[in-house]
Amino acid sequence: MTRDQKAPVCVLGTGLIGGSLLRAAVAAGYPAFGYNRSQSGVAAARADGFDVDDDLPGVLGRAAADDALIVIAVPMPAVDHILASVATFAPDCVLTDVVSVKAPVAAAVHEHGLAARYVGGHPMAGTSESGWAATDPELFRGAVWAVGVDPGTHADPWRRVAALALDCGSVVVPVVAEEHDRAVARISHLPHVLAEALAIAGAGGGALALGLAAGSFRDGTRVAGTAPELVRAICEPNADALLAVLEETLIVLGAARDTLAEDGSLADLTRAGHDARNDYETARRWEITDVRPGDHDWLERLREAGQRGGVITAID
């Protein structure tokens, strides 16, 4: 393989995220192929000219022969089954995933004896749609892609995973599993829970309330349009972190209820909320340029930079 030839990528699961990744990898010049469980998903991908099969052992055997980077792109409940097959048919491949939680995937990877060549991943992109029909090779353009820097991670597989994320148009946020899971509970899983609750409150007002609903309700409930089983597959594996921030939020909302009832005031809530949204709007990514994978203490240094908002935009 020459320097310009990219190593193959094997995507397991070609739904919205995995399918978009397959498209993005092909567009970026990777030889890429995939597996999907459903025949209809396979047919849809093939109709668009992509190399997807429903024979998991066959696909993994090819990945092993080609030394492909394997990407697990199935919902958390299906991860264990997929890992068992990887351990059987392609135990030596570099392995990553795009699952919405990291600690439970890492634990399962460890259990299957696949930890040495594993690097966790999570592109922060999606829509409330699902399935091949919703895939988009540009889905990851401009997004952030969390890539694991947990203790014991090896530099070579890390470079390959980070390079794939960059080649799909994302920037890389280095993060360890537990800190990732606590962060996404706040900015991805709690939004789902609040959107469901807001939708329920709106529909409780019947045709009149839904007929009067405008932008704030539409945007605030958008992700409640996601299939319930998908929301559960995203949120439930992160129950501990989600429970912690949900408790925090119940306290914030309870305090707002109390000040509104007692003083007719939402002053504290609106000031804190506006400041917080301003923190979000003014948050600026900065480029991590002084740490190379394999350097002394590289994992700890990348982790610390990621905590402070640092991202990687290029890799040697």
Chain positions 201 to 260 lying near a second copy, rule: CB under 8 A, are 201-229, 231-232, 235-236, 239, 242-243, 245-250, 252-254, 256-257, 260
Q: Which is nearer to a second copy, 85 or 307 (CB)?
A: 307
Q: Which is nearer to a second copy, 6 or 189 (CB)?
A: 189
Give dist(CA 86, CA 84) in Å, integer. 6
Interface mask toward a second copy for 20-59; x: CB under 8 A:
----------------------------------------
45 phi, psi to nearest 5 deg: -65, -40
The torsion of the CA quartet 299, 287, 25, 134, rounded to 10 degrees, works out to 110
Name the residue with tokens 């609903």.
213
Is 269 a binding residue for a second copy by CB under 8 A? The answer is: yes
DSSP-derived 3-state class of residue 174: strand
Nearest distance, CB of residue 50 and a second copy, angstroms: 25
Nearest distance, CB of residue 275 and a second copy, angstroms: 7
Beta-carbon contacts of residue 234 (< 8 Å; ≥ 6 apart): 75, 76, 100, 101, 188, 189, 192
Does residue 177 contact residue 103 with C-beta atoms inside 8 Å? yes
Task: Tell me how many degrees the CA angle 106-41-98 measures, rounded to the nearest 5.
Answer: 20
Nearest distance, CB of residue 68 and a second copy, angstroms: 27
Is 194 a binding residue for a second copy by CB under 8 A? The answer is: yes
Number of residues binding to a second copy, judged by CB under 8 A: 101
Give dist(CA 303, CA 191) in Å, integer. 25
Q: Which is nearer to a second copy, 68 or 168 (CB)?
A: 168
Nearest distance, CB of residue 126 and a second copy, angstroms: 7
Nearest distance, CB of residue 14 and a second copy, angstroms: 21
224 phi, psi to nearest 5 deg: -70, -10
> Which of 279, 290, 296, 316 forms a contact with a second copy (CB under 8 A)?
279
Nearest distance, CB of residue 48 and a second copy, angstroms: 24
Does residue 73 contact residue 17 with C-beta atoms inside 8 Å? yes
Q: Which is nearer to a second copy, 9 or 223 (CB)?
A: 223
> Which of 157, 180, 301, 302 forms a contact with a second copy (CB under 8 A)?
180
Query: Using CB under 8 A, which of the segments 51-59, 69-77, 87-95, 281-289 binds a second copy?
Result: 281-289
Of 131, 107, 122, which is closest to residue 38 (Cα–Cα)? 131
DSSP-derived 3-state class of residue 36: coil
Phi-psi region of 219 (alpha: psi -120 to 50; beta: other; left: phi over 0): alpha
Does residue 42 contact residue 36 with C-beta atoms inside 8 Å? yes
70 phi, psi to nearest 5 deg: -90, 130
Looking only at residues 125 through 144 of this chain, which bind a second copy when binding is defined by CB under 8 A?
A: 125-127, 143-144
Is 313 a binding residue for a second copy by CB under 8 A? The answer is: no
Interface mask toward a second copy for 70-89; x: CB under 8 A:
--------------------
Q: Which is nearer to a second copy, 8 or 121 (CB)?
A: 121
Q: In what order do the strands lie in the sheet with 52-53?
A: 52-53, 32-35, 9-12, 69-72, 95-97
Q: Which is nearer to a second copy, 47 or 207 (CB)?
A: 207
Nearest distance, CB of residue 310 and a second copy, angstroms: 8
